Structure formats: C-alpha cells, structure tokens
Structure 1
Amino acid sequence: MKQTLAAVAFATAALAAHAQQPIVLKVAHFWPPTAMSQQKVLEPWCAKIAKESNNQLQCQIYPAMQLGGTPAQLIQQAIDGVADVVWTLPGYTAGRFPSMEVMELPFLTKDAEGGSRAAWEIYEKYGQKDFAGVKPLAFNVHDRGHLHNNKRPITKVSDLKGLKMRAPTRLTNKMVAALGATPVGMPMPQVPDAVSKGVVDGYVLPWEVIPTMKLHEMTKYHSEINAPQPGLYTTLFTIAMNQAKYDSLPPELKKVIDANSGAEFSASIGRAWDASAPPARKQAEERGNQFNTIGAAEVEGFQKATARVTDDWIKEVTAKGYDGKAMVEDARALSAKYAERK
C-alpha cells in the first residue's frame, strides 16, 4: 500500500513538474540582432509575456533568418510551424494579402505610431480573411520613408529619371516606377551589397534601418519630404503567430498573448520606429552626407506622379471582391486622425 501511495505521489509530482515546463516560442525575423526591431520591440515583448505568465511563456529569438529560408518565406514558416512567431512584411509575398497593401500607398501616413494604429483597424475591418493559418499579433508601419542615392540630389520628380532604385514591396516598386526610376525589388538583407556594387543607384528607406545596415557609410544623397506633408511612402509589417500554436495554449496563456497584441501593441511599435529616426539620421549627418528637402511646391508633383498607383490599386482589389475605394478612404482618415492625436 505504501509503495502504491508513493508511486501515485511520484507520478503526481512528475505530472505537476511537466505541466509547469515553460513553453518556448521560436521567434524569427530577418534583421540582425542589433536592430531596433529586436532590441526595442521583440526583446521587451518577450520579457513582458514571460513576466505576465510567471515564465510559462518564453522566447527563443532567431534573428537574421537563423531558422533558414529567405525573408519572403517567413510568413509561410509561421503558417507551417517552422517558427511560432515571425516579424515580416506581408508585401514580401506580392498579392497574397491584398487587404493590407492599402497601408503602403503613397502619401498615406504622417508617422509610424498613427499609421500603425490605423493599420490594426484596417486589419480588423477588412483583412482577417487574408491571414488564415496565422494569428496576427500586430501590424505596424515604419517612420517616414525617404529617397537615398549615390548619383545626384533629388528635389523634384525629374531627378529620379533613369535611376535604379531598390524598393521592398510590390506597391513601393510601382511608386518608384511612377516617379520615373527603374524599380529593383529585393529583401532588405541584400541591399548593402547591391549599393556597394552599384547594382542599384539608391533605395527608399526610413532612417532607422540605414545605420543598422551601415548604408549611411555608402550613400551620398538623402532627400526628405517633411511634415506636415504626409510621408512619401511607408511599408507594412506584421508580427504573426502560428494559429495552431496559439490554439494549443491553455486559456490563461492565451490571455497573456491577447493582452500583448492588437492596437496598443501595434501603436507601441510605431512609437519605437518614430523615436528611432532622429538618432539614425544624425549618423548620416555626422558623415557629412548631403541632405535635400523636397519642398511643398515639388511635393505636389510627386503626388500627381504617384496618384495612378492608388487608382490602379483600387481597381485591382475591387475586381477581387474588396471595396478598394472605402479601404483607401478609411486608411487615410484613420492615419490622419491618429497623427493629429499625438
């Protein structure tokens, strides 16, 4: 009898110990580990869910595609369970997530925080059917995107003619083409090599990414459209979790994930991106690079040149069953509303 009781006690203790084993989430992204995205967003998020779950939820972060594959494959890695959580660009898989492309249209957002909050609302209203197999935890846009190149200062549309310019997604490539340059699509990790070898003359990027990739050390000219005008462009990102992994969590751990995802998490990522711009820009200033501001009069020319990108997109997604016009109107209104609240 004593042996039986001892065996039951041992088994109970073993089960309790097993039940308390932490769940380790594999978190993958394409940036280096020193990037703002990991240090200012993913690491604090992982620390927060660990604390709120009494360390039952933990992260193992895999930067720089350490789980293999290419940046364009990250979203599929999340769907397939190769990674439990990924941070990537929906636009790396062109046409797969048409609802969220609206956030990448030219002259839509003024800042990353407001644009990111708007992006989450656009997802809730229009985008949920596009993301089967993953549970989006956040959508964010980066801070104002600018023009950078090694050929000449850019202050008007005609200055872009003939330049080979890298852009990250389908819509940003269309924007570059509408401005008269030759678009060259490639994931971010390939850009420094392409710039150093002259494969591209320049690129469109926000400030934060540039020193992370040491691009300020190989670029001569930077051209900016400054507030109060909307930014030339932005790019949409998502932090997404494998749906089956989320579904497998016990209710109390699902609550932790839910409490650390959504509109507020999205907005916090945007704030981090907005805050990153001035110190990143300063590094290019300290190298003596040339800066040019695209004035209000010339901005109108950029807006006219890129208007057809928006018009074409509305027609394209409307043909697929989306209300493209309403999506653009909502994205603009939400971005403006949240920018004004800051």
Structure 2
Amino acid sequence: MLLNSIHLCCSEKKKHFGGEQLIMKKFFWISLLVFGLVLLLLSGCAAEKPASPAPETEPKESTETTPTTEKPITLRFANYFAGESGPGRIGQVFADDLKELTNGRVEVEYYPGGMLLAADKMYDGVVEGIADIGFSNLGYTFGRFQVAEVLDLPMGFPNAWVSNHVNAEFYNKFKPKEWEDTHVLTFHSSPVNNIITIDTPVYKPGDLKGLTLRGTGYIGKLVEALGATARAVSMPEAYDNLAKGVIDG
C-alpha cells in the first residue's frame, strides 16, 4: 500500500509545478523524506532474519509387517467308493476344486475306496474326527436317521435328478435334528435300481425265491418281501462278493 501512495503523490506534483513553487518545494522535500523512510522500511524488512527452517525429524520406523506365509488347512476326506469309480472321481474333483477356490489355503487329503473309513463307519468317523469330510449312505446306517430315511424308500422317484432335488429341498425345509452333529454339504441319489443276477434269469417276482441279493436299508426289506434273502453289502465289496458267490446279484 505504501508504494501505491508514493506513486500517486508524484502524479499530483507534476500537475501543479507551474504555480506555487514554494509550496511545491516543501511538498517535494516532504515527499522525498517520505520516500526515504519507505525505502528504509523496505530495507529493514528485507534485512529481517529469515525464519529458521523446521527441524529435521528422523524418519519413523515402518510399523508394517511383512505378511507371513500361512500354513494351509488340511482336511481329510474319506470316500467308500473306489477312486476309479464315478463317485470316486467326483470326490477327487471336489478336493481339487476346493484347493483352487481357496487359492491353496485349504488342501484335501483324499482317501477313496474305504482306505480311511469303511462305508458303515463313515458318519461316526466324521463325528469323531477321524475324517473331516465323509461320503456316507443312509442305507449303511439303517435305523439311525429315521426322518431322512423316508428319502430312501424304493420306487419313490423316476430318476436321480428328481431325487437329488427332492433330497435337497427336504433337508433345507425340515432340517432334521438327527444331522446336528455334522454340517451337511450336499445330498445325492443313485440312478433307478435294477435287479441284476450272475447267472439266474429273473422274469417274475417268484424267480427271486432262494436267491441272495445285495440290499441295504429299505431296499433290503423290499428284496425280502419279493422272496429273496437280503445281504447288506457295501458297494466297494459288491463285486468281490459276486465273484466269490456270496451273493447272487
């Protein structure tokens, strides 16, 4: 603001210089004095000691920690089906997919063919911690899951697709308490059951009399109602029993 005022005074001096010289001379010296004071003030401002720079601070140590490699969670998966069978291969696919979907954080040790748990010991083996995941069958623990066993009644579904969906809807709706000691992951059903014999043709129900057929759960009761003898043989043991003549079909 002071510089702007000085500039304006100079302009007024030039306008009136031809008239009252004495006054103008006085005005000239006063202006010169003011100008000198302004210069003095400006030089004083320029000579002020510059502000001290902010003290340097030592860099803080980083508190971030380098992420450590987490040890993967390992789950034991038991399946009574042989590894080369359809359900056995599906179990391996499940194990591989679980590892991929978790980016390796979950690994599965897969035990097909009853290597870790037999078919009739599967559910209890999971409850007791022998296996973390188990592939079980209602027919192998007949009488234990009395609510869910309604799904195992013979001749109830036209195909496995319908059966699978009914099983899932049944569980999601009723949540039977008999499953509370485990987490049910999924249900599945076998295709429509057919009677197959080694060398005895069967054309009518009476032809079953005297034969021993593999049958578990309610299927076993149906076999006996048709006049045959039912033997509760698990699927992995079925072919060996057929070869040895323990069962006829």
TM-score, normalisation: structure 2: 0.70
Task: Kindly name which structure, 1 or 2, has the bigger radius of gyration based on alpha carbons.
Answer: 2
Once residues 245 and 112 of structure 2 are traced to their aligned partners in structure 1, the CA distance between those partners, rounded to angstroms, is 27
2:95 and 2:108 in contact (8 A); partners too: yes
1:166 alignment partner AA? R
Match of 2:231 in 1: 184
Match of 1:288 in 2: none
Once residues 113 and 90 of structure 1 are traced to their aligned partners in structure 2, the CA distance between those partners, rounded to angstroms, is 18
Give a deviation string over 1:60-102, Cα, whole Å, max 9, x none: 11112222x4221111111111111111112211211112211
SS in 2 for 1:183: strand
The structural deviation recorded for 1:126 is 3.1
Aligned-residue RMSD, C-alpha: 2.0
The structural deviation recorded for 1:59 is 1.4
Alignment of 1:1-342 (within 5 A): 12-13=65-66, 16-18=67-69, 20-39=70-89, 41-67=90-116, 69-167=117-215, 169-202=216-249
- C-alpha change, 1:191 and 1:134, in structure 2 (3 Å) is same
Give a deviation string over 1:98-125, Cα, whole Å, max 9, x none: 1221122121111112211111111223
Once residues 70 and 46 of structure 1 are traced to their aligned partners in structure 2, the CA distance between those partners, rounded to angstroms, is 19
2:160 and 2:189 in contact (8 A); partners too: yes
Give a deviation string over 1:232-252, Cα, whole Å, max 9, x none: xxxxxxxxxxxxxxxxxxxxx
Whichever structure has more helix as a proportion of its residues is 1
The structural deviation recorded for 1:24 is 1.8
Match of 1:292 in 2: none
Give a deviation string over 1:173-218, Cα, whole Å, max 9, x none: 101011111111122222222212222111xxxxxxxxxxxxxxxx
Once residues 95 and 246 of structure 2 are traced to their aligned partners in structure 1, the CA distance between those partners, rounded to angstroms, is 38
The structural deviation recorded for 1:127 is 4.4
Aligned length: 189
2:79 and 2:91 in contact (8 A); partners too: no
SS in 1 for 2:158: coil
1:32 alignment partner AA? A
Question: Per chain length, whose mean CA-contact separation is higher, i.e. which structure has more relative contact order (CA < 8 Å, sep 6+)?
Answer: 1
Match of 1:284 in 2: none
Once residues 145 and 202 of structure 2 are traced to their aligned partners in structure 1, the CA distance between those partners, rounded to angstroms, is 32
Whichever structure has more strand as a proportion of its residues is 1
1:190 alignment partner AA? E
Identity %: 28
Gaps spanning 5+ residues in structure 1: where? 203-342
